[in-house]
Amino acid sequence: MRNKVYVAATRQNDGKTITCLGLIAALKKRFDKVGYIKPVGQRYVEVNGHKIDEDAVLIKDVYDVQGDLIDMSPIAIPRHFTENYIDNPNRDELVRAVNQSFERVASQSDMVIVEGTGHAGVGSVFDMSNADVAALLGSKVVIVSGGGVGRPIDEIMLNKAMFDSLGVQIIGVIINKIEEEKYDKIKSYVTRGLQRKGLEVVGLMPYRPMLSSPTMGQILENIDGKLISGREGLRNVVGKMVIGAMPAHQALEYMNDDALLITPGTREDVILAALSSCLLGTSRDLCVAGMILTGETPPQRSIMELLEKTPTPVILAKEDTYTVASKINKLIIKIRPGDTQKIRAAEDLVEQYVDVDRILELLSN
């Protein structure tokens, strides 16, 4: 099957899934039946007793692409998988699973997007690196890298060496997360720099902070906390954290609709400052995306009653403010099926900044 493309990346969180979302939306305008498969997945959920990669669940839910969910994620890596594989290598079994799933998806599709995992070498420990899988499927590769000039070129060439070693062709490069003020400069230098290496740039996507920002729902899932109000606001996107360790009037200056306030439950002055505009209805702009009240001591009952009436998500966490903020900083942000704003933003990025027709042309050569 010639109509397939392997979407790889130079490292984790460079934008493979964002690229796949946008590509699938664009390809559905050009093909009747578009399929998707993520042969090797590292982050999975249980669906009807099967381990399914989170990205496969997302793509199936959003686009209802061709193929069964089980075939879209033939290998999901549970804990101790690598140790067990080293003890008892079984590559033939993995190869068979990927080949059979791909054939079933491809048989129903005019075009298939194959999404990789991490950089080119991820999966080498069990003989199924991205380069191995791309070679196995006979797929050409588009590689995604983060913004900059030197780092992306260096990392792309490092990854290219592994694909080259297995005879896999990289047909194009997409540079993601380019700072707006540096866009023209990076476009010029990266395009010329990669051209010198025999690689064509098929897309340059500017940085969109929202796509790297967690929702309140994701934060709730990843900290040890209890939601006391605002369930309807769990899809609020958090753009920045405001630590409530300052006087209330100063904290208010940093609060807006993408701010997450993290403050001890005893700082009732700061909590009331965050609530005031929302409750009085004077301005939605000052309503925070959410609040996390930290420490063992919650606010007084009268304050809790006010919090319980607000549509703003409020989470009680036993840990201290620094620990909670550190956990949030370390979160790996993944787009979820309900993240409509983020999905539309990913589609718009690819539509505006990636030459999809050129990718198809390169695939056909």
Binned at pLDDT 50, 70 and 90, residue 102 comes out as: very high
pLDDT at 250: 78
Q: Residue with structure tokens 């753009």?
A: 239
- Across 55-59, 264-268, 309-313, least confident range: 309-313
Structure tokens at 261: 């306030």
Q: What is the pLDDT of residue 286?
A: 58
pTM, two decimals, is 0.86
Whether the pLDDT of residue 186 is over 90: the answer is: yes
The percentage of the chain sitting over the pLDDT mark of 90, rounded to a whole number, equals: 62
The rounded distance, in Å, linking the Cα atoms of 106 and 108 is: 5
How high is the pLDDT of residue 190? Answer: 96
Provide the pLDDT for residue 331. Answer: 84
Give the pLDDT confidence score for residue 358 in this predicted structure.
97
Q: How many CA atoms lie within 13 A of 200 on its CB side?
A: 14
Cα 60 to Cα 66: distance, rounded to the nearest angstrom = 8
Mean pLDDT, rounded, for 309-337: 88
Calculate mean pLDDT across residues 39-47: 90
**Cβ proximity of 332 and 221 under 8 Å:** no
What is the structure's pLDDT at 7?
A: 97
- The rounded Cα 323 to chain-centroid distance in angstroms is 24
